[in-house]
Amino acid sequence: MTTGTSTLRRAGIALLATLTLATVPATAATADSATGATATAATASPAASGAWRGVWAASPQAPTAPFGANWSQQGFENQTVRQIVRVTAGGARARIELTNRYGSTPLRVTGATVARTAEGGAVEPGSVRALTFGGRGSVTVPAGGTLLSDGVPFRTRALESVTVTLYLAGPTGPATFHHMASATSYRASGDHRADTSGAAFTETGTSWYYLSGVEVSGGPRGARRDGIVAFGDSITDGVGSTTDADNRYPDELAERLAATGRPRAVLNHGIGGNEVTNDTTWAGEAGVVRFRKDVLTEKGVGTVILLEGINDFGGSGPAFPGGPTPEVSVNRLIEGHRTLIRQAHAHGLKVVGATLTPIKGSFYDTPENEAKREAFNAWVRTSGAYDTVVDLDRAVADPADPDRILPAYDSGDHIHPGDAGYRAMAEALDLDEL
């Protein structure tokens, strides 16, 4: 799902980790590293990866700037990028996933660190620790590739946050990124991966670059496949929620699960503007294509929530950035969802189908789009195609005007919920059904 610049309010991510790694010296050494074995590990089966499980994720996108300048198209050179993420379940060891999926040349990462998050771009003194790749401090990610760092002692609890810092010495070229991070990222000139102060990080953005996942092992959930993926568009991505507040609906779901005393991993694989059936120039490959790359490679996952389709209906209209996409019928969207369901079931995943939320008064509000939305929602509720269904349409609708989001839940553009709306969506999910 997309929106105009004035409605792109991004939520943030904060995660505090207890680390037991070796401290990084002020000037970190670098070394070359072969990438073949590590790149293979990134797509290995759960059995080959032991008890590793994803606890944070962001779907990669090709460089683009539909709503104004960001750092993706130019990329980086002799710059340090500092990014803050919140994990949804804990463990005793951790590793990060880096992606160059849409890079046209190999990506050289000169060094990377993790640290306890402080204020802004700062980290807690004494907490900066080095990450390695195949035992070495530097790594090259092949064009189109994804790889994992080595696993390191890194004890975390659910809903804690960590700062990941990447130093990129040479020119990267255009950067694989996640556009609508709903979080603040920081950039500095030169090598500041070991800095505790945020003083050098004078530039900020609201996207994630190259960082696509955090995995842990040794947690209380062991090797159980009870993680949850939320798959969708900007309503899953969290557009309309408060910046740096972790109020997307998957965040709220993770908080509900943690409050029971039995935290479970919740991974957000939403992309703002994404469609189930069409590729777009700025919002990623079609859901039926990226589902294999983004969802089926995740470790420890047992359930996926599917909330996507309103951009398929609205993308053919004038409000869609980058130009309209081909018109999509209700039947074509249904077949797209059936394809996603088949893919998920083939990998042993339980599928939760979600109804599309209201659009009345929004830039997608036309009689044709509303008729399609209502017809598709009727199919979701009655088809029996999913393992279970959550009616997010009714969860956020105004009882006095069911085609419109309740004003208290509306971010202001009449299509994206605000913080209260995302909380209502998370509360509509039956934890026992998950």
How many residues does this entry show for the chain? Answer: 434
CB 433 within 8 A of CB 388: yes
pLDDT at 1 over 70: no
Q: Name the nearest CA neighbour of 420 among 429, 433, 411, 428.
A: 411
pLDDT tens-digit map of 338-388: 999 999 999 999 999 999 999 999 999 999 999 999 999 999 999 999 999
The pLDDT confidence band at residue 40, using thresholds 50, 70 and 90, is: very low
Mean pLDDT of 413-432: 98
Query: Residue 89 gets which letter from DSSP?
Result: S
What end-to-end distance do the CA atoms of the chain give, in Å?
25
pLDDT at 222: 64
pLDDT at 36: 34
The pLDDT confidence band at residue 223, using thresholds 50, 70 and 90, is: low
Query: Residue 83 gets which letter from DSSP?
Result: E
pLDDT at 336 over 50: yes
Residue whose structure tokens are 């401290």: 23
Choice between 318 and 411, residue whose per-residue pLDDT is larger: 411
Sign, Cα dihedral of 422, 428, 432, 434: negative
pLDDT at 323: 86
pLDDT at 33: 33
Orientation of helix 367-382 relative to helix 330-346, angle to 10°: 40
pLDDT at 32: 34
Distance CA 289, CA 257 (A): 30
Fold that domain 224-428 belongs to in CATH: Rossmann fold (3.40.50)
pLDDT tens-digit map of 112-164: 998 889 999 999 898 888 999 999 999 999 999 999 999 988 888 899 989 99
Count Cβ atoms within 10 A of the Cβ of residue 200 and give its class: 0-12 exposed, 13-18 middle, 19 or more buried: middle
CB 39 within 8 A of CB 147: yes
pLDDT at 282: 94
Distance CA 286, CA 1 (A): 13
Residue 169: count of CB within 10 angstroms of its CB: 18
> In percent, how much of the chain has pLDDT > 90?
80
Longest Cα separation, the chain? 64
Domain ranges of the chain: 5-40+51-214, 224-428
Mean pLDDT of 244-265: 97
pTM for this one?
A: 0.89
